[in-house]
Amino acid sequence: MIVQACLNGARPSDFHPGLPLTPEAMAADALACIKAGAAELHIHPRNGDHAESLLAVDSTLAVVRAACPGTLVGVSTGAWIENDIEKTRACISNWSVLPDYASVNLSEPDAPRVMELLRSIGVGIEAGLATVADAERLVALADHQKVLRVLIEIEEQERSAAYALAEGIVAVLARAPVTRSILLHGFDATAWDFVRLARQRNYSTRIGLEDCRHMPDGTLAADNAALVAGAVAIFRRI
């Protein structure tokens, strides 16, 4: 059961004054988040124009790993990043600095092939599930147990509906059964609800500017490290 720091995601540059968009800024934030109690990192590398880029994985990971040696670092493989199936595959195949794991959204058409590709180069997989249909697609795969963990990520903003969706996904996983660990998180209005629910269920969770910019009391977070410290405090409560 861990708290993972998600530093930037696909957020635009004006989302928060402290959003890290360069390798150096991501590395500095990563180190601060580890000091605040995060066990792992999830980042979306950006190119020189600050756009998400799978081509920027090598250079970004090199800088982040130098700042946080020994810390597991993951990246996204979201189809929107390159917006081209063949280019996405080519970028992943050509990584020379490998992430420890990469998230794959089961809602995306090429997800099974991306998962196969990641396994072939020795990168762990976070299987991203946002809907019950995503969960059903995962468990239908013959190699669904060959993932590092299951990432339940709920975008629904109304709390009761979001909880119901998460329960539906968990039910599908339980029936399979899928025995991999679960990391549960929400976005924006539900981010802290799901941090608390993850603590209650003994799941891992994540927090950072990819998921929200406000603290549990509604105030604007100073930075990623403040968000991580808030989640760690929830996880440490008895």
Show pLDDT as tens, one digit a residue, over the chain (238 residues). Answer: 999 999 999 999 999 999 999 999 999 999 999 999 999 999 999 999 999 999 999 999 999 999 999 999 999 999 999 999 999 999 999 999 999 999 999 999 999 999 999 999 999 999 999 999 999 999 999 999 999 999 999 999 999 999 999 999 999 999 999 999 999 999 999 999 999 999 999 999 999 999 999 999 999 999 999 999 999 999 998 5
**At a CB cut-off of 8 Å and minimum separation 6, what does 97 contact?**
57, 58, 59, 61, 62, 65
pTM: 0.96
Q: Which helix (H) or strand (E) holds 2?
A: none
| Centroid of chain to Cα 199 | 17
Output the pLDDT for position 206.
98
Strand partners, 104: 127
Q: Which of 226, 186, 234, 182 is nearest to 210 (CA)?
A: 186
- Helices 191-201 and 159-175, axial angle in degrees (round to 10): 40
Beta strands in 50-187 (DSSP E): 72-76, 101-105, 124-129, 149-154, 181-186
Distance from C-alpha of 158 to C-alpha of 161, rounded to nearest angstrom:
6
Structural domains in the chain? 3-236 (3.20.20.70)
